[in-house]
Structure formats: C-alpha cells, structure tokens
Structure 1
C-alpha cells in the first residue's frame, strides 16, 4: 500500500488526508509548526514539520517516512503578495521528492493558469511555452505554469490537477459576493466543491499517469446567477455587486470525466446547496 505525504494539511489537504486514510493508505501530512503537528495528532494523522521556504531537510524527511507519493496542497499566496515564492517552492519540493526516491508527485494547481479570453478552456490551452509569448496570460498564470513545469520536467510519474474556485465547508460563496467588484450574466461560475476536489485528487493518485486535468463542476450557470443563488441560500438581503454583461472563460472538465472520474456534483447550483 502506498505511503502518501501531503504537503500542506490545510482546508483541502487535511480532509484529503483523512479520506485517503479511510481508503487504507498510509498518510503523513505537513504543517509549518510543532503546534500544527499536535493538532494533526489529535485527529489521528501522522504529521511532520515542513516549511517550504526552508526545505533543507525535506528530502530526508520524505525518505525516512518511506513515501512513494507526494501531494502538494498549498496555495500560491497571491493575495498576500507571496506568489513569487511559489515556483521556487515547487522546484524545491520536486527536488526533495527526487532525492527521496519518491515515485509519483501530484500538484494541486489552479485554473488561474488560463489566459484571459472568453473561450472554453481545455488543458492544452495553458502551458509555460504558450504563456511566454501571449499577453493574455497574467503574471499569476505564468508563476503557476512555471511551478507546473517543474512537475512536468521532474522525471517522476505525475498528475497536475487544475482546480477551479473552491467552495464547501467554511467557504460558502455568499461570503465572497460582497468582495467582488462586479458579476457578469455572461461569465461562467467555474467552481469546485471540496468533495470533488478530494475526489479528483484521489482519482489522480490512483489512476492518472503523467497527465494534466481540469477539476471543475461539469455544468454551471453565470456568475450573476450563481452569486445571487449563494446569497439566497443563506437568506441574505445583501445586494449583488454591479451586474455586467461581460463574457469570460469556461473551464472544461471533459478530460477528467472521460478518464473515468464521476463527479459528486454535476452542477454548481447543486454543489452550492450541498452544505446547506
């Protein structure tokens, strides 16, 4: 049975660790402090300290744990102004996995990688090579794609799971509506529930080999309709931000579906109401 190390036992990484344990995998998960390790122990998860800004002993740690699969589940920190570190963190993580003789590495990436165009986005429409010569790719997209490239070039078996906007427990979209400058009747709400994020990453661990996939709820509505439904779901009387008619990209999950993954929620409105 595989021993899986999850780097980043946060909002997604912690429930992912618990789920993989229920499937019989040996799982170790990281936090950045000893206090975090004690919190994991209280939930019966083996923890280890990992600070990706100081990864000196990470390879030794992974080797001592006997990990054959590493899952990176940590955000780029763009909103905190820390995005520039992200590509280096992934380069260091890949190097540690190589030195520890791990067999597979899974990157939980983001649909931030796609260009700002009102098109249906499939996996081949974003790569570091494309981004370097296309002004429609944002600076954040280029950082994410540089991080992905470290995984693609690792020589290890890999899977890159590009998740769209994550929703679920403690991340109800109604909380974010007020922060938006505008919502569009023509922009798709590309969203993914925590249950399907866990499901897609687990599917990647078990079934994907050297592949990149989008993980997004297969059917959706406009952002205007989605966020109004989110406010209605919590009986909020707050108004929507400015409603506009500006088209935007649609993330497509066909490749993951064709590979055999079965989504828990087929529509974003269904996913929205999953947590009451």
Structure 2
C-alpha cells in the first residue's frame, strides 16, 4: 500500500483519490472548504483543511504530508484577468509553490506529480511535443512554467510534470460556454482535449510504473476542427450551435500524446469524446 497526498480534491482530485483508494492506496486529501471535509471523509479519504497562499501555507500542511511517499499537486493558478506579471511580487501562483516546497522537502514525500497545462506552449502552430520549448502567452501559463521549474530543480524529491489539454467530463464541457455564440475565432484549429477518466488513468499509470523526473503532454489523439467538433457536440447536447468566422485567425496547434501512448503504453478512451 502506498500513501499518497493529493493537494486539491476538486473536480479531478476527488475522483482521482477515489480511484487510487480503490486500488489499495491510502490517500490524504486537502480542501480549502470546511464543508467539504465530510465529503472527503465519506469517500474514504483522510481529509485535511489546507490553504496554500502567496504569503503563507497553513501549518496543517505538515500533517497532510506526514508519512506520504507521493504528493500530487492539483491546484489551478486562478489568476485574475487583469493581474500583472511585471514584478516578482505579483507572481501569486509561483509564490504559492515557493511557500509549499519547504514543507515537501521536510516531509517523507520523495515523488511529486505536478498537474500543469498545455497552455505553457502558448499559441504555437504545428505539432507540439514534450521537446517543444514553453512559450506561454497568458499569465497563468507563464506562472505554470516557473512553478514547474521550481519543482523540477529541487533535489529533495523527484518531480513529474503532467500537462493536460482542455479538460472535459460528464459535467464539464467547453461547448456549454460556446453554444449560441457567434463570430468565434479559429474554426479550423484542431481541438486538444482530455477526458477526466483519461486524466485519472494516466496519473495511475505514472504511479504504477514509477515514471518520475518526466514531462508528459496529456491530450487525446483526436483532433477534429473546432467548428466540426463543437457544432456536432452542440447538436448531441441539444444546445444552440456556435457560429465561427473564417476571417478570424487560425492557430493550428496539435498537441502530441505519443510519449504517453508509447512510453506508458496508455490507451485513451476515445469513446468519451
């Protein structure tokens, strides 16, 4: 039995914890909401109230990490749209990771899996692999790049970076936000999405196969155009069809998951898409 701590038991972290427990692992799970502690406990998770801020980290983090071999960090940057990136003091998410690292270094944790995003590549054109240099063009993407580096450079633990594409699941799909909208850009751009089930499956394989000190892009090998895919999804979900403009720019970025397919021998559940 492996003891695993999951920092952030939200949309992905909670079902991930349940899946890891079902495989015989012991899981510590964190939440920032007292109301959610009972939900975690009912799921068989050792629940902890943990807050990671740019100024400080709650003292309960020590107990949350106690005796764990693996830490999964699944907390989003959540930056304000108008937040500046001009000075180190404004690097909110980066500072959160900086404050968290000493707690990890002093704990029993020797393996860290950091959930990142393919947004670190920015609007690249063409095929993107793990060898592609990050070129983030959003505030959250820029801070994710720096957070990745902070974790990778620490010698107290081994870090694997897992960069997810757009997240979808039964209760989460971007077509719900695009439905009925007009003049949308990039109609010919390929989609780069990943289903919640595949997120959980890939994390499980990384742990099972001890693939540490690695970087993985996690996007389903399914890349129809935005216009074709979201139009079809709107019809399937009985939503107003989105309207795209062919005059708007087309970024044709395709994120490759060949490393996951070949190195982990992972098979994506394409029926979910």
TM-score interval, normalised by the smaller of the two chains: 0.7 to 0.9
Matched residue, 2:143: 143
Q: Aligned equivalents of 1:174 and 1:139: distance in 2?
A: 24
Matched residue, 2:158: 157
Whether 1:89 aligns to 2:96 is yes
Matched residue, 2:216: 213
Q: Aligned equivalents of 1:105 and 1:161: distance in 2?
A: 11
Contact 1:158 1:210 in 2 (8 A): yes
Residue correspondence of structure 1 range 124-135 to structure 2 within 5 A: 124-127=131-134, 131=135
SS at structure 1 position matched to 2:232: helix
SS at structure 1 position matched to 2:252: coil
Q: Aligned equivalents of 1:59 and 1:48: distance in 2?
A: 8
Whether 1:260 aligns to 2:260 is no
Deviation at 1:183, TM superposition (A): 4.1
Q: Aligned equivalents of 1:202 and 1:6: distance in 2?
A: 13
Matched residue, 1:202: 204
How many residues in Structure 1 have an aligned counterpart in Structure 2?
Answer: 261
Q: Aligned equivalents of 1:201 and 1:26: distance in 2?
A: 15
User: Please, which runs of 5 or more residues in structure 2 have no aligned partner?
Assistant: 84-89
Q: Aligned equivalents of 2:32 and 2:201: distance in 1?
A: 25
Higher helix share: 1
User: Please, which runs of 5 or more residues in structure 1 have no aligned partner?
Assistant: none
| TM-score normalised by structure 1 residue count | 0.86
SS at structure 2 position matched to 1:182: coil
Higher mean C-alpha deviation, range 244-253 or range 117-126: 244-253
Deviation at 1:245, TM superposition (A): 6.2
Deviation at 1:142, TM superposition (A): 1.8
Higher mean C-alpha deviation, range 46-55 or range 169-178: 169-178
SS at structure 1 position matched to 2:91: helix
SS at structure 1 position matched to 2:131: helix
Computed over aligned residues only, the root mean square deviation of the Cα atoms, in angstroms, reads 2.2
| TM-score normalised by structure 2 residue count | 0.87
Contact 1:188 1:220 in 2 (8 A): yes
SS at structure 1 position matched to 2:262: helix
- Pick from 104, 117, 120: which aligns with 1:113? 120
Whether 1:71 aligns to 2:72 is yes
Contact 1:62 1:100 in 2 (8 A): no
Residue correspondence of structure 1 range 1-276 to structure 2 within 5 A: 1-53=1-53, 54-63=56-65, 65-78=66-79, 84-127=91-134, 131=135, 137-155=137-155, 156-178=157-179, 182-207=184-209, 208-243=211-246, 244=248, 246-266=250-270, 270-272=271-273
CA gap of 1:181–1:30, structure 2 versus 1, over 3 A, is farther
Q: Aligned equivalents of 1:194 and 1:215: distance in 2?
A: 11
